[in-house]
Amino acid sequence: AEHQHARYNPLRDDWVLVSAHRVKRPWQGQLEKPPPEDVPRWDPNNPLCPGATRANGEVNPQYEGTFVFPNDFPALQPDAPEPDDSDHPLFQAAAARGVCKVMCFHPWSNLTLPLMSLVEIRAVIDAWAELAVELGASYPWVQIFENKGAMMGCSNPHPHCQVWASNFLPNEARLEDRTQRQHVSQHGVPMLLEYAEQEACRKERLVVENTDWLVVVPYWATWPYQTLLLPRRHVCRLQDLRNGERDSLASIMQRLLIKYDNLFEVSFPYSMGWHGAPTGPYLEEDCGHWQLHAHYYPPLLRSATVRKFMVGYEMLAQAQRDLTPEQAAERLRNLPDVHYKRRAK
């Protein structure tokens, strides 16, 4: 807690420098604008709202629950042409095809996941699983991710996520596939299943837990309040979750996100995403080395207006953090379980 040291991340096969004493240094750098607190429930100019007109001229239905539609500006398209052949190994290109979808969590723009009911969050989980099955039938990778807050590049103040399916395994997926496969080969047990068991016993990085799930600030965390959401049993993919596990997932997600919001009493920005075993042609292969998990990467460090920047040493050498994962976990763990907006005044 007092001296710098490096920690190994077995999931990414890299290291992070921990320099806890640096959190005491004065800050005279950039201050962010706190998220707006006056988002209207419905805005005809917000393209994600029910009944609103999107950029392509399509009008959203008057949806009352989750709503999925094709991304109007997709990064991946199913009919992209093959690139030209390379004339040198230093100039390689490969085909990149896929589909991109947007999923609205709720019809109201002034809600976020921690302020939604457990029934509403469960509906989101079920919709995630349905998309994973639908797109995973043919695509090797289905990436479900949420960018929350303008600080994380979210351009629409409305509860939503994106789902990109690709005909290739992205870099992070290929890396995690390799490290998890190696761990099973060497130790005979899925890496993140063993890791969850260890963290459940040690408790020092535990944030919240229930019968089926636990959330920790991982030992190798890079972002200040980064967390890892893990099932307690061996589960390869989101669609493999049992009915009760989906209910308990809704509960633990709500508890985690309430704590995030309560940390600085602000709608906490983050990027999160699910990682599970590859799909498409991999459905016929043994993917038992995989363990389903979700990453949460929030940028805030000291307050609602001071963020962690990944620049300089982080970009040119290796990741570095300014407080220990144990300190971050303790702070999150001790926060109230009632959202600050719903506490008695």
pTM of the model: 0.95
Instruction: Answer yes or no: is 293 within a domain.
Output: yes
Domain encompassing residue 286 = 39-82+93-335
Q: Residues 285-302: what's their mean pLDDT?
A: 95
The band of 223, judged by pLDDT with boundaries at 50, 70 and 90, is: very high
pLDDT at 34: 72
Q: Which residues are annotated as a binding site?
A: 22-25, 55, 71-72, 147, 153-155, 162, 176, 275, 293, 295, 308-309, 313-314, 320
| Catalytic residue annotation | 160
Instruction: Answer yes or no: is 4 within a domain.
Output: no
Instruction: Answer yes or no: is 213 within a domain.
Output: yes
What are 28-50's pLDDT values in tens digits?
Answer: 566 666 777 788 999 999 999 99
Instruction: Answer yes or no: is 226 within a domain.
Output: yes
Instruction: Answer yes or no: is 220 within a domain.
Output: yes
Instruction: Answer yes or no: is 14 within a domain.
Output: no
Percent with pLDDT over 70 in the chain: 96
CATH at residue 44? 3.30.428.10
Mapped to the 3 state alphabet, what secondary structure does the chain carry? CCCCEEEEECCCCEEEEECHHHHHCCCCCCCCCCCCCCCCCCCCCCCCCCCCECCCCCECCCCCCCEEEECCCCCCCCCCCCCCCCCCCCCCCCCCCEEEEEEECCCCCCCCHHHCCHHHHHHHHHHHHHHHHHHHCCCCEEEEEEEECHHHCCCCCCCEEEEEEECCCCHHHHHHHHHHHHHHHHHCCCHHHHHHHHHHHHCCCEEEECCCEEEECCCCCCCCCCEEEEECCCCCCHHHCCHHHHHHHHHHHHHHHHHHHHHHCCCCCEEEEEECCCCHHHHHCCCCCCCCEEEEECCEEEECCEECCCCCHHHHCCEEECCCHHHHHHHHHCCCCCCHHHCCC
Instruction: Answer yes or no: is 31 within a domain.
Output: no
pLDDT at 90: 96
Q: Quick check: 27 pLDDT over 60?
A: no
pLDDT at 20: 81
The band of 191, judged by pLDDT with boundaries at 50, 70 and 90, is: very high
Domain count, the chain: 1
Instruction: Answer yes or no: is 128 within a domain.
Output: yes
